[in-house]
Structure 1
Amino acid sequence: MKKLQKVSRLTGIMLISSVSAGLCAQDVKHCRETTDKDQRLACYDRIFGTSDAETLAVAETDIEVKEHTTALVPEISASQIPIATVMQKYWELTPEEKRDRFVFRTYQPNFFLPAHITSNINKAPQSPTRGQAPNNENYKQMESKLQVSLRAKLMTELLLPGADLWFAFSQRSMWQLWNDQDSAPFRNTDYQPELMYIVPVADAWGDLPGEWQIRMLQFGIAHQSNGQADPLSRSWNKVYAGFAVDKGEFGLNWRYNQRISESDDDDDNPDLIDYIGSHEISANWLPGYATAQLVWRNDFSHLSRGSWQLDLTYPVDSSKLDGLRWHLQVFSGYGETLLDYNFRQNSMGIGVMLFNF
Structure 2
Amino acid sequence: MRYIFILLFLYTALFSAETSSRKGKELDKYEVSEIEDVEAKKGMQKWLNRDFGLKPHKVNYILPYAYREGVYKSYVPTDEYRNIEAELQVSLKLYLGTGLFGLNESYYLAYSHQAFWQIYSDSSPFRETNYNPEGFVEFPILDKDSLLNMKSIKFGLAHTSNGQGSNTNVVYANPADNPGNRSRSLNYMYSEFAFQHDTLLTEFTLISPFPGTADDLDNPDIMDYLGYTSVKLNYFTAKHMFTLMGRGNFTTGYGAVESTYSYPLIDDAYFFMKIFSGYGESLIDYDNYITKFSLGFSFSR
Q: TM-score scaled by structure 2?
A: 0.75
State yes or no: 1:198 paired with 2:171: no
Aligned counterparts of 1:264 and 1:332: Cα–Cα separation in 2:
24
Alignment correspondent of 1:310 = 259
Give deviations 1:275-329, integer Å, cap 9, x for gaps: 11110110110011011111101122233x2000001000113xx4xx2100000
Counterparts of residues 321-340 of structure 1 (less than 5 Å)? 323-340=268-285
Aligned counterparts of 1:160 and 1:337: Cα–Cα separation in 2:
39
Native 8 Å contact 1:160 1:199 kept in 2: no
Aligned counterparts of 1:288 and 1:342: Cα–Cα separation in 2:
38
Q: Secondary structure at the match of 1:154?
A: strand
Alignment correspondent of 1:238 = 188
Q: Secondary structure at the match of 1:120?
A: coil
Q: Aligned to 1:186, which of 107, 118, 126?
A: 126
Native 8 Å contact 1:156 1:165 kept in 2: yes
State yes or no: 1:251 paired with 2:186: no
State yes or no: 1:227 paired with 2:163: yes
State yes or no: 1:169 paired with 2:111: yes
Alignment correspondent of 1:268 = 218
How far 1:185 moved relative to its partner? 0.4
Shift in CA distance, 263/285, structure 1 to aligned 2, threshold 3 Å: closer
Q: Secondary structure at the match of 1:108?
A: coil
Shift in CA distance, 135/243, structure 1 to aligned 2, threshold 3 Å: same
Aligned counterparts of 1:236 and 1:295: Cα–Cα separation in 2:
21
Native 8 Å contact 2:187 2:213 kept in 1: no
How far 1:351 moved relative to its partner? 0.1
Q: Secondary structure at the match of 1:286?
A: strand
Shift in CA distance, 250/263, structure 1 to aligned 2, threshold 3 Å: closer
Give deviations 1:154-209, integer Å, cap 9, x for gaps: 121121421011100000000000002xx00000000000011100001345253x
Q: Higher helix share goes to which structure?
A: 1
State yes or no: 1:156 paired with 2:98: yes
Aligned counterparts of 2:87 and 2:227: Cα–Cα separation in 1:
23
In structure 2, list runs of 5 or more residues that go unmatched.
1-50, 167-180
How far 1:266 moved relative to its partner? 5.0
Structure whose CA Rg is larger: 1
The one-letter code matched in structure 1 to 2:271 is W
Aligned counterparts of 2:128 and 2:204: Cα–Cα separation in 1:
27
How far 1:120 moved relative to its partner? 2.4
The one-letter code matched in structure 2 to 1:134 is V
Q: Higher strand share goes to which structure?
A: 2
Alignment correspondent of 1:218 = 154
Aligned counterparts of 1:296 and 1:333: Cα–Cα separation in 2:
10
Aligned counterparts of 1:257 and 1:276: Cα–Cα separation in 2:
10
Aligned counterparts of 2:112 and 2:77: Cα–Cα separation in 1:
28
Q: Secondary structure at the match of 2:76?
A: coil
Aligned counterparts of 1:177 and 1:278: Cα–Cα separation in 2:
33
Q: Secondary structure at the match of 1:274?
A: helix
Aligned counterparts of 2:239 and 2:300: Cα–Cα separation in 1:
16
Aligned counterparts of 1:315 and 1:336: Cα–Cα separation in 2:
26
Alignment correspondent of 1:94 = none
Q: How many pairs align?
A: 237
Give deviations 1:8-52, integer Å, cap 9, x for gaps: xxxxxxxxxxxxxxxxxxxxxxxxxxxxxxxxxxxxxxxxxxxxx
Q: TM-score scaled by structure 1?
A: 0.63
Aligned counterparts of 1:207 and 1:243: Cα–Cα separation in 2:
11
State yes or no: 1:104 paired with 2:44: no
Native 8 Å contact 2:214 2:223 kept in 1: no
Native 8 Å contact 2:60 2:299 kept in 1: yes
Q: Secondary structure at the match of 2:294?
A: strand
How far 1:137 moved relative to its partner? 5.3
Aligned counterparts of 1:205 and 1:158: Cα–Cα separation in 2:
25
State yes or no: 1:120 paired with 2:70: yes
Aligned counterparts of 1:330 and 1:345: Cα–Cα separation in 2:
10
Shift in CA distance, 199/109, structure 1 to aligned 2, threshold 3 Å: same
**Aligned sequence identity (%):** 30
In structure 1, list runs of 5 or more residues that go unmatched.
1-100, 125-132
